Amino acid sequence: MKALRMVIGLLVLVVAGAGAAWWWQHRDDRVLPPGFAQANGRAEATEVDVATKRAGRIAEVLVDEGDMVQAGQVLVRMDVRETIAALARAHAELSRAEQEKRYAAAQISRFESEAKFAAQQLERSSGLVKHGSVSQELVDADRNRQRVAEAALQAARIQLIEAQAAIESAAAAVSQTRIELNDGELTAPRSGRVQYRLAEPGEVLAAGGRVLTLIDLDDTWMTVFLPEQVAGRLALGAEARVLLDAFPEHPLPATISFVADQAQFTPKSVETAEERQKLSFRVKARVAVTAAQRPYAKPGLPGVVIVRTEAHAQWPSWLTTP
């Protein structure tokens, strides 16, 4: 028994020694070399709400939380039965207006013919009255018929204009109703993942009511605060790396997309060099998430942003990206 305990003790010492040797050999693998700086932060992504344009009842929600969606994909269908009925009425009004236009055009042809005949009749009677063949009363009657025909023709032309206006109004109503019908399908404004499902089928929402919230994983960034002596060396577009705590072995390429022009946590009066070291500037590093990493990307994951403060500094091997 004592020999067995001694063997077990030796094995434990060997394993511990091997572990210590490995740690000693690799202890500096993750130490930042000179010319680099890092700061803690949390991953963030652009959130987009999918909301109703008009008040209505939800008929169907086609996605669940966590689903990946593509831009333009139909996510929600609203109850559009009333809109379909309104579209049918609008089409009927358009058809009626078109019939009225055809009727007005036919009336114009009729009254043009009558006005032409009345003018000719007036011309003949006016010539005959000079020779005493017809009475002045007949000429006056022909002149009155000619004026009535001209008035009827003018009224028909106005009716044609009104019919054309009615057609345009009815066509606009059809177009508007079709837009409302299309608005009954809520589509993804951009590709991303469904973060929250905020409403369910059967619920009645007011105009602007939110149904889903999407996150755009292609628009991911991490915001950190860097001291003045580091932030002052950064340029927009500068190369950076992001290490998420969940994936420390996979550095993500990033670029500096924003450096605040005003410090935060700054004393009201900055006069000494010691106080100037307290300056902290907000810096945003935009992350390039690969297709393989997209399923694991989650806003809110903590991590660090590593920036290069010296242009000649070489990225260490553990921060190289594919």
* Global confidence as pTM: 0.66
The number of distinct structural domains making up the chain is 3
Name 271's Cβ contacts closer than 8 Å, sequence gap at least 6. Answer: none
In this structure, is residue 320 part of a structural domain?
Answer: no
In this structure, is residue 254 part of a structural domain?
Answer: yes
pLDDT value at position 74? 96
Residues 97 and 75 in one domain: no
In this structure, is residue 89 part of a structural domain?
Answer: yes
SS3 287: strand
Distance of CA 219 to the CA centre of its chain: 13
In this structure, the number of other CB atoms found within 10 A of the CB of residue 140 comes to: 13
In this structure, is residue 10 part of a structural domain?
Answer: no
pLDDT value at position 1? 47
Q: CATH number for the domain including 208?
A: 2.40.50.100
pLDDT value at position 55? 93
Residues 276 and 157 in one domain: no
Which helix (H) or strand (E) segment is 265 a member of?
none
Residues 70 and 200 in one domain: yes
Residues 310 and 220 in one domain: yes
Residue type for 41, please?
Answer: G
Residues 191 and 239 in one domain: no
**Residue ranges of the chain with per-residue pLDDT less than 70:** 1-30, 122-142, 265-278, 293, 295-297, 322
DSSP letters for 4-38? HHHHHHHHHHHHHHHHHHHHHHHTTTTPPPTTEEE
Measured CA angle at 285 (ends 278, 30), to 5 deg? 80
pLDDT value at position 92? 94
Residues 237 and 121 in one domain: no
pLDDT value at position 311? 79
Residues 171 and 41 in one domain: no
Out of 166, 184, 202, a domain closes at 184
In this structure, is residue 19 part of a structural domain?
Answer: no
In this structure, is residue 14 part of a structural domain?
Answer: no
Residues 87 and 75 in one domain: no
Residues 114 and 191 in one domain: no
Q: Give the range of the structural domain holding residue 228, as residue numbers without chain letter.
A: 32-46+216-315
In this structure, is residue 23 part of a structural domain?
Answer: no
Q: What are phi and psi of 43, to 5 degrees?
A: -70, 140
Q: CATH number for the domain including 286?
A: 2.40.30.170
Q: Report the candidate in 16, 78, 90, 19 with the shortest Cα–Cα distance to residue 53.
A: 78
pLDDT value at position 270? 46
Residues 67 and 207 in one domain: yes
Contact status, residue 199 vs residue 205, Cβ threshold 8 Å? yes
